[in-house]
Amino acid sequence: MRSRQIGATLLSAAALVGSLAACGGGEATTVLQKATNDKKLTIGVKYDQPGMGLKKPDGTVEGFDVDVAKYIAKELGVEESGITWKEARSANRETFLQQGQVDLIVATYSITEARKPKVTFAGPFYVAHQDTLVRADDTSITSLDSLKGKRICQVTGSNSWKNIAEGTNLQSKKIDVTLVAAGAYDECITKLKGDALDAVTTDDMILAGYAKREGSSLKVTGAPFTDEKYGVGLKKGDKETCEAVNKAITKMYSDGTIKTLFDKHFSGTGLNFTATAAPPAEGCA
């Protein structure tokens, strides 16, 4: 009789544990569940891109991507005080997501077909366009075609150089250029100013941030040749969080926050906010 009582007690305990897990007491399996349960998130952003993601001397980070990330986190239930920021370079973004080192990445992360097998993308939350940054006294580079024979920066992990050298641009033109390797865009700017290359070509928002920081020494040519759909990177398969982030992006446009953030970081750079609604979502594959 005693063994039966013990068995019944164990079964009841197992049922209670199962019930608690079903009610949210178990380990979170999606970023949305983690945000709901822990009120904390680790978010990957750039640390070296003025206007987009920049780490300041006091250790805080600022920029358009950073503010977008804060808005999305709050919509998921996490206040700014619950965010841990982590530097996400172009070369390590997929690895960080796969290894769980970050929960979200908002770091000038263009949605591409090549990245989709490795990353689930929410968004896009903004569509930028690739352009070119040159020294202010350079009049030889005014268009995609005029990059022929020039030295351009090749940042590890970025696809920007491919859009020129491999022809994945709106004009489908392959331009014969010389690639100069760099680990990050800040290194590109140093090389450009030091005459170690002729042009830095990537998204216009990134270039505008650098041009604003450097003052009159550099200029953006104003001849865009791609569409860059900025997405929010998630670990592959996290459809639940992706759908929640897409709702947050839609709200960010409908309540006017996205334009406020754009104007905050890019007013006076020559870039204009023209979107009237959130870009169509790519789908949470």
Could you give the angle at which helices 204-214 and 257-266 cross, rounded to 10 degrees? 40
Which tokens hold the place of 91?
């070369």
Write down the pLDDT at residue 22.
39
Q: pTM value?
A: 0.83
Beta bridge partners of 203: 130
Calculate the CA dihedral of residues 26, 44, 59, 78 and round it to 10 degrees: -40
Q: Provide CB contacts within 8 A for 142, sequence distance 6+.
A: 221, 223
CA separation for the pair 177, 161 (Å, rounded): 9
Asked whether 247 and 284 are in contact (CB, 8 A), the reply is no
Buried b (16+ CB within 10 A) or exposed e, 226-246: bebbbbbbbbbebbebbebbb
Question: Is it true that domain 31-128+229-266 has CATH number 3.90.700.10?
Answer: no
Residue 209: other Cβ atoms inside 10 A = 26
Host H or E run for residue 231? strand 228-235
CA separation for the pair 111, 152 (Å, rounded): 23
Write down the pLDDT at residue 8.
44
Q: Provide CB contacts within 8 A for 28, sequence distance 6+.
A: 34, 36, 37, 38
Local confidence pLDDT in tens for the 285 residues of the chain: 444 444 444 444 444 334 333 344 457 899 999 999 999 999 999 999 999 999 999 999 999 999 999 999 999 999 999 999 999 998 899 999 999 999 999 999 999 999 999 999 999 999 999 999 999 999 999 999 999 999 999 999 888 999 999 999 999 999 999 999 999 999 999 999 999 999 999 999 999 999 999 988 999 999 999 999 999 999 999 999 999 999 999 999 999 999 999 999 998 888 889 899 999 999 997
Which tokens hold the place of 201?
């070509």
CATH code of the domain made up of 130-220: 3.40.190.10
Vertex 205 angle, CA 120 and 171, to 5°: 80
User: What 8-state DSSP symbol labels residue 117?
Assistant: T
The answer to whether the 31-128+229-266 and 130-220 domains have the same CATH topology is yes
CA separation for the pair 194, 217 (Å, rounded): 11
Q: Look at the alpha carbons of 139, 144, 150, 151 in this order and tell me if their dihedral is positive or negative.
A: positive
**Per-domain boundaries in the chain:** 31-128+229-266, 130-220
